[in-house]
Amino acid sequence: MHMHQARFNMIEQQIRPWNVLDLQVLDLLGHMQRDAFVPPAHKSLAFADIEIPLPAGQCMLAPRLEARLLQDLAVQPHESVLEIGAGSGYMAALLAHRARHVLTLDIEPELADMARGNITRAGLGNVTVRHADGSRLSASEDSFDVILLSGSVGLVPQDLLQHLNVGGRLAAIVGDEPVMQCTIVTRTSASDFRTSATWETVVQRLQGFAEPERFQF
């Protein structure tokens, strides 16, 4: 199947049915070459409704999840974005078309290198890729308008909320199998936050983040 047709089918059969109706998001997904961010062995699956394997045992999120996160965060052209879990660099590339600047981190050096190469080949000058543990962000790190965790966590990382500007949003997939929820936390003032849990899914864990304490009987 021609890549253009496969991309069209991805949007019409996977993404629109998942309540992604923002025309700017759909247009971006229609033009971005997702196959350029997929490992060569899996290029034929670039537009399939699956998580695509990456080096170091990690994976790309399914396209409908990437699209829904992009829509729900409503990134604006003046905003700065932090992504934790760079993967192949595809989500950072999508964010870069909406934001002023994107900093994307990955704990795996092989993935950081992969993302950096893909971003460079895509010609995106407003993305910085860094090999770093996003669960241990320095207190001196900048603050951001948007923080995206491209994977799941057991709890919303409270330390990361302190790196949100007022009006900023953090999005993460929170919980345990078989049900996790997309959770968006908005910083409404210097000391106040508003949390909303929207759609459900299950995705791979991000490394390094704390797990909630479990009751033992």
Residue 217 has pLDDT above 70, yes or no: no
* Position 129, amino acid: V
Q: Distance between terminal CA atoms of the chain?
A: 54
Q: How far is residue 205's CA from residue 137's CA, in Å, rounded to a whole number?
A: 18
Backbone angles phi, psi at 52, to 5 degrees: -95, 130
Residues 58 and 204 sit within 8 Å (Cβ to Cβ): yes
Give me the architecture of the 3-201 domain, per CATH. Answer: 3-Layer(aba) Sandwich (3.40)
User: What DSSP string runs through 50-99?
Assistant: SPEE-GGG-EEPPHHHHHHHHHHHT--TT-EEEEE--TTSHHHHHHHTTS
CB 116 within 8 A of CB 103: no
Q: Which two tokens stand for residue 116?
A: 């950096």
Please report, for the chain, the start and end positions of each structural domain, with discontinuous segments joined by +.
3-201
Per-residue pLDDT at 92 exceeds 70: yes
What is the structure's pLDDT at 2? 80
Q: Give the predicted TM-score (pTM) of the model.
A: 0.95
**pLDDT (tens digit, 9 = 90+) per residue, 17-74?**
999 999 999 999 999 999 999 999 999 999 999 999 999 999 999 999 999 999 999 9
